[in-house]
Chain A
Amino acid sequence: MSATTAASARTGVPGQSMLAAAGRQLRGLKILLPFAALVALWWAIYASGDFSPQVLVSPLTVWQAFVHLVTYGVMAEYASTSLRMIGFAAMLSMVIGVPIGFAIGVNRYAAHALEGFLRFLQGISGIAWLPLAIIWFGFTHTTTLVIVIYTLIVPIIFNTMIGVRAIPESYMLALRSLGASRLRMVKDVYLPGALPSIVVGLRLGMGYGWRALIAAEMLVRKGGLGDLIFGARTFGQIDRIITGMIVIGCLYVIVDRLIVQPIENLTIARWGVLRK
């Protein structure tokens, strides 16, 4: 290792960038290699037995199904439905949940009163309310949205509350003794202090919410990736199911890694006080 760095230092910039490119390729390989091994294993299992297409299909068939779904625009349609739903739900939950969390968090009694209640709500997963939501709103997007928001908003409220509660009281007293208004307090103490915790809540909520969304889509059957894979079940189209699962996994990883995690890192780097 030290030899290579010394060599690149001697050759100067071009050698270094080449090394960096090679490093990037190596990293890409490191990520892809395990999946290649998995696909090889899957293919070996498929080849070793005589599976009915209702039980297991080869990776090639799945690839063909993927290409088919993408070229006909079906995948884009289902995926965009799901993504729009989770994005909209996340936004609404933040807009509603954070102020509620603040309102609860600034008051010791309110926080104590509602903590158990919020835990109770968290114990009843959003999906358990699905039957009631179906009766109330029918098999519509509203039903799905209500379930996803319910799932997302509880961790956001809860973590906002915890974040506000965790701010050292001396900060508030210091600002108040300098004559800060209520608004200044929210802007300069509560918001920055609670932000890392709020983002943790958002991230958790997205994790729960994405699953709740898929599950709700399976039962509501009005579009979305959950509908795609559950609908394919009815016709025994394993290739479509596996394609859908892969897309669901990839989208979640992308949303989590490229949107939510950077926000989390940013807030923690900027205001970071507490982390799990």
Chain B
Amino acid sequence: MSNATLAPPARRRRRGIDQLVWRLLPLTPFALLLAAWVIYWAIARPNAATLPSVQDVVAAMWELAVKGELAQHVLASLWRLLLGVALGVVTGVIGGFIVGLNRTISTFLSPLIVFFNAISGIVWLPLVIGWLGIGTALAVFLIWNTVFFIVFQNTVLGVQLVPQVYEEGVQALGGGRWETIRTVILPGALPYILTGLRSGLGFGWRALIAAELVGATTGLGQMIFGATEYHRSDIIIGGCLLIGTIAIAMDRWLLLPIEKRTIERWGLVFDARKEE
């Protein structure tokens, strides 16, 4: 892309085509997959329970959408995600600040954090079903548990990486402890917190789907798992595609812009490309 700016004017038209090709390129894998699916289906005619046709999937999703069931599932899932992520971010940031600012607490807690991080999320399901029952509270707990550790660890990292000189600078000018946290450490750690939020949301979405498979009566996860019983592959495939689309959409239009703006505003050294 960058060398295109140096191209001579005579090649401008060609450059335009190149750019169009470059833009459309990311769509080709999707198109190829769709084509392969259609061709395979036309030749092999598999059982609809094994692999439904593209039309079947579209029709099934359309039917669910018209009945309003789809919106109900999507909203249930998104609501749980919102609650879980909000809780995870608030507790993760507060916890991250407490631990990041205090070396004694940090050394004491670190073995516990390593261990509980290893069992965060879905591993809690069997135990917590007994405490909270099936439903939103369970899903929210599992999302919170997943998101907390990611946001927490990123916050601790961000807090610890703020150069001491900045803190001392504010302190030398007569800033108190609170003042230092508010004006130095919070902005300094913000890019890291947002990176945590971004990957936390991705993880939270995964945990939600897993939790809903068994731990809920509504939601996208339950929609696809419930469809297994009736061998409705069309609903499962449609649901999976929808799950992926929502994940991408949230990342692209919600988190990437927030992250970009923060980095522009307070940017420390950071490579947004490698968040995964």
Partner of A233, one of B50, B116, B119, B126: B126
The 8 A CB mask of B92-136 against A (1 = contact, 0 = none) is: 000000000000000111011011101101111111011100000
Decide if B26 touches A123 in the complex (CB within 8 Å).
no
Decide if B127 touches A112 in the complex (CB within 8 Å).
no
Residue B175 is within 8 A (CB to CB) of chain A in the complex: no
* A232-B127 Cα distance, complex, nearest whole Å: 9
Number of interface residues of B (CB under 8 A): 58
* A205-B146 Cα distance, complex, nearest whole Å: 16
Decide if A252 touches B118 in the complex (CB within 8 Å).
yes
* A180-B202 Cα distance, complex, nearest whole Å: 42
* A103-B263 Cα distance, complex, nearest whole Å: 33
Q: By CB atoms of chain A within 10 A, which of B49, B114, B121, B227 has the most?
A: B114
Residue B264 is within 8 A (CB to CB) of chain A in the complex: no
- A112 and B210 contact, Cβ closer than 8 Å, known pairs A249-B115, A252-B119: no
Decide if B115 touches A120 in the complex (CB within 8 Å).
no
Decide if A215 touches B111 in the complex (CB within 8 Å).
no
Which of B66-74, B163-171, B236-244 contacts its partner? B236-244
Residue A164 is within 8 A (CB to CB) of chain B in the complex: no
* A35-B205 Cα distance, complex, nearest whole Å: 30
Decide if B130 touches A253 in the complex (CB within 8 Å).
no
Residue of A nearest to B30 (CB): A117
Residue B213 is within 8 A (CB to CB) of chain A in the complex: yes
* A31-B110 Cα distance, complex, nearest whole Å: 8
Residue of B nearest to A52 (CB): B130
Decide if A55 touches B131 in the complex (CB within 8 Å).
yes
Q: How far is the CB of B40 from chain A (nearest CB, A)?
A: 14
CB-defined contacts of A153 to chain B, threshold 8 Å: none
CB-defined contacts of B122 to chain A, threshold 8 Å: 127, 211, 214-215, 218
Residue of A nearest to B208 (CB): A125
Decide if A127 touches B130 in the complex (CB within 8 Å).
no
Decide if A128 touches B248 in the complex (CB within 8 Å).
no
- A35 and B29 contact, Cβ closer than 8 Å, known pairs A204-B276, A211-B122, A211-B123: no
Secondary structure dominating the interface of A: helix
Residue B273 is within 8 A (CB to CB) of chain A in the complex: yes
Decide if A35 touches B111 in the complex (CB within 8 Å).
yes
Residue of B nearest to A122 (CB): B276
CB-defined contacts of A115 to chain B, threshold 8 Å: 26
From 72 to 114 in chain A, residues with beta carbon under 8 angstroms from any chain B beta carbon are: 109, 112-114
Residue of A nearest to B220 (CB): A128
Decide if B49 touches A124 in the complex (CB within 8 Å).
no
Decide if B126 touches A232 in the complex (CB within 8 Å).
yes
- A112 and B130 contact, Cβ closer than 8 Å, known pairs A128-B221, A132-B240: no
Interface residues of A (CB under 8 A from B): 30-35, 38, 54-55, 109, 112-117, 119-125, 127-132, 134-136, 155, 158-159, 162, 204, 208, 211, 214-215, 218-219, 229-230, 232-233, 236, 238, 241-242, 244-245, 248-250, 252-253, 256, 276
Interface residues of B (CB under 8 A from A): 22, 25-26, 28-30, 49-50, 107-109, 111-112, 114-116, 118-119, 121-127, 129-131, 202, 205-206, 209-210, 213-214, 221, 224-225, 227-228, 231, 233, 236-237, 239-241, 243-248, 251, 271, 273-274, 276
| New A-B pairs, 20, CB < 8 Å, besides A131-B213, A253-B118 | A30-B107, A33-B108, A112-B22, A112-B25, A114-B29, A117-B30, A119-B248, A120-B244, A123-B245, A125-B206, A127-B213, A135-B49, A136-B50, A214-B123, A215-B210, A218-B214, A229-B127, A233-B130, A238-B127, A249-B119
